[in-house]
Structure 1
Amino acid sequence: MGSSKKAKRSKAVVLPKRKCCESKSRCGRCPIRMLKDGRLPEGYTVKKRELVRVDGKKVTKKRLAKAA
């Protein structure tokens, strides 16, 4: 049973954008698409095409990375 490099590599976490770019096709990091797919980090939601926290605090990249 040999171990391969692919088995050791962990899957990268994709962080959502803070605001939807409003493209019709929707990019892979779109918060609206991630919400629909259930890939949005815990405690986050989307209101008016913008990523917001459920508790009302400000969304920062540092907090977002920690949550994901």
Structure 2
Amino acid sequence: MGKGKKTDKRASADGTRMLPKVECCVSKKRCERCPLRMLKEGTLPAGYTVHKRKLIRRDGKKVTKKRLAKAA
């Protein structure tokens, strides 16, 4: 069996960027969408940060998937 075509794990199939999870799942190896890993790498969308393993907005508004998708 041959190996499949390698793709960038930080992008979805249609080429858009992966969105971070709203909360870290505390896996030992850090999943690809982990907000902690994305914060460390600098790939988190602008205006977002992580506090106590949860994704928050810097302006204090509530984090929604709709706004998150717009920011990414």
Gaps of 5+ in 2: 1-13
Counterpart-to-counterpart distance in 1, 2:16 and 2:58: 24
Scaled by the length of structure 1, what TM-score is found?
0.83
Task: Confirm or deny that 1:26 pairs with 2:30.
Answer: yes
Task: Confirm or deny that 1:48 pairs with 2:52.
Answer: yes
- Partner in structure 2 of residue 12 of structure 1: 16
Runs (4 or more) in structure 1 with deviation over 2 Å come to: none
Tell me the CA shift for residue 14 of structure 1: 0.7
Structure (1/2) with the larger helix percentage? 1
Taking only the aligned residue pairs, the percentage that are identical comes to 69
The residue type paired with residue 36 of structure 2 is I
Tell me the CA shift for residue 11 of structure 1: 3.1
Q: What is the root-mean-square deviation of aligned Cα atoms in Å?
A: 1.0
Number of aligned pairs? 59
Counterpart-to-counterpart distance in 1, 2:35 and 2:29: 13
Counterpart-to-counterpart distance in 1, 2:33 and 2:23: 10
Tell me the CA shift for residue 12 of structure 1: 2.1
Larger-Rg structure: 1
